[in-house]
């Protein structure tokens, strides 16, 4: 199992600090250990002051790679149409 050093973890979550929380829905298989079931994938989403959407994903199952699909739905700035979009960060 690959472990993330605490300093790297703080870099990963820094983008969510002082950002607007965005609700996120996850469909994920369960991971079971010691009789306890939890979703294999954990996610956080936020929008920073520059309008960039950040999504952090964690696979909590050390035994399985899990394919993901992300769909972003919302309105583009200055646009009244609803779109699925990805904005590439610089």
Q: Percentage of the chain surpassing pLDDT 90?
A: 26
The model's confidence at residue 85, banded by pLDDT at 50, 70 and 90, is very low
pLDDT at 29 over 90: yes
Q: Does a structural domain hold residue 90?
A: no
pLDDT at 35 over 90: yes
> Tell me, what DSSP letter sits at residue 12?
H
CA distance 36 to 65: 20
Q: Does a structural domain hold residue 35?
A: yes
> How many structural domains are present in the chain?
1
Identify whether the C-beta of residue 58 lies closer than 8 Å to the C-beta of residue 45. no
Q: For residue 23, what are the domain limits?
A: 6-84
């Amino acid at each position: 199992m690959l472990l993330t050093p605490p300093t790297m973890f703080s870099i990963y979550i820094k983008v969510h600090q002082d950002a607007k929380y965005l609700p996120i829905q996850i469909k994920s298989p369960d991971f079971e250990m010691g009789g306890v079931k939890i979703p294999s994938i954990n996610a956080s989403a936020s929008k920073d002051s520059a309008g960039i959407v950040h999504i952090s994903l964690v696979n909590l199952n050390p035994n399985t790679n899990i394919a993901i699909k992300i769909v972003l739905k919302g309105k583009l700035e200055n646009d009244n149409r609803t779109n699925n979009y990805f904005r590439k960060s610089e």
